[in-house]
């Protein structure tokens, strides 16, 4: 081990006696696309005889560390410096940042140009730049293939989001967390260009695409800070052996369109199918000729507010409570006492108008408190203190009053928590008189032109926003056939719905790698191979208890031999004085 340590720590000269340690070499190889340019030498194209002996495999292509959290995180070191090259996101960004094109369409075209072998000399500044970019494209293909063939659908989706964010913007592209600071308040999945452009990503098997989600959140985005919400939809068309996921290869088809503040109604109405179109229904009040003036009233929003599913219709609930009161008093032969007891009950125990208890918190119409029956010991005496005080306040009540109140309470408890819940929402929904999608979409167009603020209020009171469980959904067939007909400005970020296709799969990458061998300086691939061998040997040597010396000393495959090869090949690539 001492000899290996000495070999690894070996220094050699570079220009003004600047020294390289092996640690520096590893960092340089990891950052090859950014740091090798000034020191690479061109190598002669291998002869046919030498190429026959080459066996460069996909495994030699560098693989950035896979990390869902690491790729998604865009943070600046506490000391204000740059992110270290070991940072998972930085590892990926240093490769994807070299992919050509300035948009999704441009980057797909650049990747396809590389895939087909059509990259021209003018695409490169020098031989070292050529090597740098070739490796970047190979890494891009390898990581993308690994995402879709090496992980289940859920994990692949979480990895694909930051991968695409970094491809589109290597400097500031980042995934949006599902919750916590900056997350959970948007339908978007990632942002680019310092957070100024938010994008939602959907990936499905080809033919099964569904672009959908919370309509409430979509409208919140569009009427808030994100008046344009870009959607990128990717369909996977893959073939392979089902028993070997890594054998799969095929195509990723990229499509894209934008929801905007103006076109959201048109897209839902024209492209949605069946029940999903019903989310586009608006209360009748928005057809009032004076809607602009009405909307300025400070109480307008409260007037058209729909209660939540858990809210109780208080007046209706208390009417029902009166009926129970009357029936139980009649059954007990105390009908004559009813009015006096009920009047005092509402004056001392419950506010009939609000349904709230007068002493302490709580809503009688929703969660009734248990009365205190004489001689009993309730589990929670505090919860029934108002009943006790009520009886003590009116000592002239007949002794049977408390038992009747107990009966009233038992019946009310069985109804208030179940039958009464949600009645407020149902009653208000009927009063609002929602109009059908066709009329609603036409009215939204009018409101957009009449008054922007009223238009925003209308969008936030569509049925699909008020009823939180309602989702929007656009199928692949509908999108393919109808999305282009929506028209309007800013419907497509990349000129059309269909953006492009990327080929992925181990076989596809292997073909590209073999074609690239003539263009790459083969010494760099030898370095990657030896780095892998060096790492594997040292890991095995340690895990085997430092006993198998062959892993270190074998003259052909040992760690020492791999380190010597790295030293030799790097020397071939470094300019000497």
Q: For residue 18, count CB atoms less than 10 angstroms from its CB and return exposed for 0-12, middle for 13-18, buried for 19 or more.
A: exposed
Q: Quick check: 77 pLDDT over 70?
A: no
- Give the residue, 571 or 172, on which the prediction is more confident: 172
Radius of gyration of the chain (CA): 35
Classify the C-alpha dihedral 482-488-493-495 as positive or negative.
Answer: positive
d(Cα 400, Cα 20) in Å, to the nearest integer? 98
Please state, in angstroms and as integers, the Cα–Cα distance from residue 472 to each residue in 269, 319, 490, following that order: 11, 39, 20
Counted residue by residue, the chain has a size of 577
Its pTM stands at 0.72
Q: Residue 295's pLDDT is what?
A: 95
Q: Quick check: 79 pLDDT over 60?
A: no
Instruction: Say if residues 219 and 462 touch (Cβ distance below 8 Å).
Output: yes
Instruction: Say if residues 317 and 363 touch (Cβ distance below 8 Å).
Output: no
Q: Residue 385's pLDDT is what?
A: 59
Nearest Cα to 461, choosing from 270, 294, 212? Answer: 294
Task: Please calculate the CA angle 190-195-197 and round it to the nearest 5 degrees.
Answer: 70
Q: Residue 479's pLDDT is what?
A: 97
Mean of the pLDDT values across residues 139-164? 90
Instruction: Say if residues 174 and 163 touch (Cβ distance below 8 Å).
Output: no
Interval 101-146: pLDDT, tens: 999 999 999 999 988 888 776 677 776 677 778 888 988 998 999 9
d(Cα 69, Cα 479) in Å, to the nearest integer? 32
**First-to-last C-alpha distance (Å) of the chain:** 33
- Give the residue, 381 or 169, on which the prediction is more confident: 169
Token pair, residue 359, equals: 């002493």
d(Cα 569, Cα 442) in Å, to the nearest integer? 71
Q: Quick check: 48 pLDDT over 70?
A: no
d(Cα 86, Cα 156) in Å, to the nearest integer? 22
d(Cα 562, Cα 559) in Å, to the nearest integer? 5
Q: How confident is the model at residue 212 (pLDDT cuts 50, 70, 90)?
A: very high
**What are the residues whose beta carbons fall under 8 Å from the beta carbon of 253, sequence distance 6 or more?**
206, 234, 235, 237, 498, 501
Interval 469-521: pLDDT, tens: 789 999 999 999 999 999 888 999 999 999 999 999 888 888 887 777 666 65
Interval 314-338: pLDDT, tens: 888 888 889 998 999 999 888 888 8
Q: Quick check: 293 pLDDT over 50?
A: yes
d(Cα 217, Cα 187) in Å, to the nearest integer? 6
* 499-537: burial string, b at 16+ Cβ within 10 Å, e else: bbbbbbbbebbeebbeebeeebbbbbbbbbbbbebbeeb
Q: Residue 19's pLDDT is what?
A: 37
Interval 416-474: pLDDT, tens: 655 555 567 777 888 899 999 999 999 999 999 999 999 999 999 999 999 877 899 99
Token pair, residue 64, equals: 């950035």
Instruction: Say if residues 490 and 476 touch (Cβ distance below 8 Å).
Output: no
**Which residue ranges make up each domain of the chain?**
1-43+523-577, 58-75+84-262+489-520, 314-421
Q: Residue 408's pLDDT is what?
A: 84
Helix (H) / strand (E) element for 437: namely helix 437-450
Q: For residue 244, count CB atoms less than 10 angstroms from its CB and return exposed for 0-12, middle for 13-18, buried for 19 or more.
A: exposed
Instruction: Say if residues 552 and 537 touch (Cβ distance below 8 Å).
Output: yes
- The region of weakest confidence among 59-63, 260-264, 495-499, 567-571 is 567-571
Q: How confident is the model at residue 8 (pLDDT cuts 50, 70, 90)?
A: very low
Helices 423-432 and 314-331, axial angle in degrees (round to 10): 130
Instruction: Say if residues 176 and 103 touch (Cβ distance below 8 Å).
Output: no
Q: Provide the edge-to-edge strand list for the sheet that holds 190-192.
A: 174-175, 190-192, 197-205, 228-239, 249-260, 498-505
What is the 8-class DSSP label of residue 312? Answer: B
Percent of the chain residues past pLDDT 90, beyond the cut: 37
Instruction: Say if residues 455 and 296 touch (Cβ distance below 8 Å).
Output: no
Mean of the pLDDT values across residues 179-189? 77
Q: How confident is the model at residue 345 (pLDDT cuts 50, 70, 90)?
A: confident
- Give the residue, 176 or 386, on which the prediction is more confident: 176
d(Cα 459, Cα 283) in Å, to the nearest integer? 11
- Give the residue, 570 or 205, on which the prediction is more confident: 205
Strands 228-239 and 197-205: parallel
Q: Residue 355's pLDDT is what?
A: 81
Alpha helices (H) in 194-299, listed in sequence order: 215-222, 264-271, 291-295
Looking at every residue in the chain, the average pLDDT score rounds to 78
Side-chain half-sphere of 369: how many Cα atoms within 13 Å?
23
């Amino acid at each position: 081990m001492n000899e290996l340590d000495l070999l690894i720590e070996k220094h050699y000269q570079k220009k003004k006696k600047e020294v390289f340690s092996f640690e520096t070499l590893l960092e340089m190889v990891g950052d090859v696309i950014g740091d090798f340019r000034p020191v690479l030498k061109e190598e002669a194209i291998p002869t046919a005889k030498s190429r026959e002996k080459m066996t460069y495999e996909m495994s030699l292509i560098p693989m950035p560390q896979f990390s869902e959290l690491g790729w998604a995180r865009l943070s600046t070191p506490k000391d204000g410096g740059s992110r270290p090259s070991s940072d998972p996101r930085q590892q990926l960004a240093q490769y994807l940042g070299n992919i050509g094109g300035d948009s999704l369409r441009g980057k797909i075209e650049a990747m396809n140009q590389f895939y087909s072998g059509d990259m021209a000399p003018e695409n490169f500044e020098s031989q070292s730049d050529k090597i740098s970019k070739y490796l970047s494209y190979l890494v891009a293909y390898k990581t993308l293939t690994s995402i879709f063939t090496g992980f289940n659908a859920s994990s692949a989706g979480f990895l694909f989001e930051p991968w695409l964010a970094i491809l589109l913007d290597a400097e500031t592209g980042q995934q949006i967390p599902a919750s916590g600071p900056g997350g959970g308040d948007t339908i978007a999945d990632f942002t680019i260009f310092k957070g100024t452009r938010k994008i939602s990503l959907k990936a499905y098997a080809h033919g099964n695409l569904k672009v959908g989600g919370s309509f409430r959140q979509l409208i919140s985005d569009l009427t808030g800070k994100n008046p344009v919400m870009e959607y990128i939809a990717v369909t996977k068309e893959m073939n392979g052996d089902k028993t070997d996921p890594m054998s799969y290869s095929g195509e990723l088809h990229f499509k894209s369109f934008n929801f905007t503040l103006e076109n959201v109604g048109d897209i839902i109405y024209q492209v949605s199918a069946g029940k999903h179109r019903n989310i586009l229904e608006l209360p009748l009040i928005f057809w009032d000729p004076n809607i602009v003036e009405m909307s300025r009233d400070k109480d307008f929003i409260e007037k058209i507010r729909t209660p939540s599913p858990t809210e109780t219709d208080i007046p209706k609930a208390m009417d029902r409570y009166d009926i129970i009161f009357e029936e139980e008093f009649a059954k007990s032969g105390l009908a004559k006492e009813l009015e006096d007891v009920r009047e005092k009950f509402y004056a001392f125990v419950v506010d009939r108008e609000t349904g709230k208890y007068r002493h302490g918190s709580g809503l009688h119409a929703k969660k009734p408190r248990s009365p205190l029956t004489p001689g009993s010991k309730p589990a929670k005496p505090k919860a029934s203190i108002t009943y006790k005080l009520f009886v003590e306040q009116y000592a002239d009540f007949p002794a049977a009053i408390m038992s009747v109140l107990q009966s009233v309470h038992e019946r009310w408890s069985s109804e208030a928590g179940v039958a009464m819940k949600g009645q407020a929402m149902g009653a208000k929904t009927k009063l609002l008189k929602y109009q059908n999608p066709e009329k609603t979409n036409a009215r939204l167009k009018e409101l957009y032109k009449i008054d922007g603020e009223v238009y925003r209020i209308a969008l936030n009171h569509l049925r699909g926003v008020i009823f939180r469980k309602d989702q929007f959904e656009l199928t692949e067939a509908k999108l393919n056939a109808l999305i282009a007909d929506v028209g309007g400005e800013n419907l497509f970020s990349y000129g059309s719905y269909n953006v492009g296709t990327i080929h992925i799969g181990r076989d596809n990458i292997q073909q590209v790698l073999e074609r690239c061998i003539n263009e790459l300086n083969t010494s760099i691939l030898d370095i990657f191979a030896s780095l892998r061998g060096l790492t594997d040997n040292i890991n095995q040597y340690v895990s085997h208890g430092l006993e198998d010396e062959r892993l270190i000393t074998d003259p052909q495959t040992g760690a020492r031999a791999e380190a010597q090869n790295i030293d030799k090949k790097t020397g071939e690539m470094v300019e000497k004085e």
